[in-house]
């Protein structure tokens, strides 16, 4: 049987995806399972050179292994490429597979949830790091309310340009304000307040 570990295997994700798609009651097409696996764990189930596309190969091999006795005979089925009059194609959980997912679903969902939080935190960290490195923020740290920051420098600190729309600029400021509140970063909150005052006229512009 598959050993429980703190890190998900491809088989873990593939079996979970099959279960979520209704594979406990009917056969599910390999491509549907591949899309669900890609949604759940994109790094594990994407092309290497073009990571924005799902890769069906790890799904096929994972299900093929899960079908074997040494892996617990968790599924029945085969790729649709082998489909004949006698072979239906697609994948379905066996009784053993249903029991296995019931025993492991909490572990799998907990790790998938943690990974979502991690991906979100990485995005937050990137925004903060870019802000900390920006010319505008460093001017503000040195000169406080007297900092002479240009429109271009202000936009660049938000990972934007001078051509970025007002709504996006305001949204980025709101996002940084929320991050600052959550992480207790007073310097970030002070910078946001400074920018809202200094660029008040710019931020009040209406769309034409």
- The pLDDT value recorded for residue 6 is 42
Q: How confident is the model at residue 92 (pLDDT cuts 50, 70, 90)?
A: very high
- The pLDDT value recorded for residue 3 is 40
* Interval 69-80: pLDDT, tens: 999 999 999 887
- CA–CA separation, 130 vs 125, rounded Å? 9
Q: Which domains does the chain have, with CATH numbers?
A: 10-120 (1.10.10), 134-203 (no CATH)
* Interval 26-55: pLDDT, tens: 899 999 999 999 999 998 999 988 888 999
Show Cβ contacts of residue 185 under 8 Å, excluding neighbours closer than 6 positions: 128, 179
Instruction: Give the tokens for residue 120.
Output: 């979100």
Find the angle CA(33)-CA(39)-CA(42) to the nearest 5 degrees: 105
- The pLDDT value recorded for residue 1 is 44
């Amino acid at each position: 049987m598959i050993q429980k570990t703190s890190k998900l295997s491809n088989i873990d994700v593939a079996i979970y995806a099959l279960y979520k798609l209704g594979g406990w009651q009917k056969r599910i097409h390999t491509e549907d399972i591949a899309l669900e696996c890609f949604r759940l764990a994109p790094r594990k189930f994407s092309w290497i050179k073009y990571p924005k596309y799902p890769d069906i190969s790890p799904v096929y091999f994972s299900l093929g292994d899960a079908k074997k006795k040494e892996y617990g005979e968790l599924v029945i089925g085969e790729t649709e490429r082998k489909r004949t009059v006698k072979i239906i194609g697609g994948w379905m959980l066996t009784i053993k597979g249903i029991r296995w997912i019931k025993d492991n679903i909490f572990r799998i969902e907990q790790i998938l949830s943690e990974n979502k939080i991690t991906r979100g935190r990485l995005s937050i960290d990137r925004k903060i790091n870019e802000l900390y490195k920006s010319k505008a923020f460093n001017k503000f740290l040195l000169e406080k309310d007297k900092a002479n920051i240009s429109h271009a420098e202000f936009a660049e600190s938000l990972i934007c340009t001078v051509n970025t729309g007002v709504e996006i600029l305001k949204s980025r400021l709101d996002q940084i304000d929320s991050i600052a509140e959550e992480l207790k970063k007073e310097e970030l909150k002070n910078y946001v307040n400074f920018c809202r005052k200094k660029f008040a006229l710019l931020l009040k512009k209406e769309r034409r």
